[in-house]
Amino acid sequence: MKPYYEDDWATIYHGDCREILPTLGRVDLVLTDPPYGISLPCNYKSRGRSVLADCNDYEDVIGDDKPFEPLFLLDYGKNCIIWGGNNFASKLPDCSGWLVWDKEIPEAFYSATSCELAWTNLGKRVRIFRHLWHGMMRKGKDHREHPTQKPTELMKWCLCLPVASKAETILDPFMGSGTTLRAAKDLNRKAIGIEIEEKYCEIAAKRLAQEVFNFS
């Protein structure tokens, strides 16, 4: 299958990952943030969240309107980090090595999700990453392009964890706006992304075409 975008570090495929994955083979690490099966409403502005902070309306995430079945992801990566794993933990092997992303949201915003969790098979230790991410209140220079976008610094942290740091090729089969690939490229690591919505493939391609920051 011809890539949507390709350079020395990153490759993007546009399509359904369940159709594309069998053509790619197994990689060192799957790092992804799939649809959770929670029917998350993504019309943030229309629901009045813009009263508190500047925000936009997005189209709903494809596949989020039905239960997510995660087991197939384990067939394509020697190691896996799956964000949102708490939403379908009963469908994955028991795991003690969870990752926690603390969004550092002030307690006054009691209705906001203050943390997100990732299932992993990287080991037995629970690890935590703290990075402010709440509307306009957020660290870093990421411009939000996707309703469930993760910060680039979070994905870099994931890629630098023990075991994950040894992965030469990273796969994100639910790529979204390309944060995993951008993080991998900044760290001089090869990555493959698959995305079913073409507009996000275009956004990711533009992000990857920007200057690479060498952190080695």
Query: Can you read off the two tokens belonging to residue 99?
Result: 């990752």
Stretches where the chain sits below pLDDT 70 are 48-54, 110-111, 211-216
Residue 193 near residue 30, CB atoms below 8 Å:
no
Per-residue confidence (pLDDT) for residue 155, from 0 to 100: 98
Tens-place pLDDT, residues 29-81: 999 999 999 999 888 888 765 444 557 889 899 999 999 999 999 999 999 99
172: helix, strand or coil? strand
What does the pLDDT read at residue 211? 66
pLDDT on residue 111: 62
Give the bridge partners for 13, in sequence order: 194
User: What domains, with CATH codes, occur in the chain?
Assistant: 5-209 (3.40.50.150)
12-22 in b/e burial notation, b at 16+ Cβ within 10 A?
bbbeebeebbe
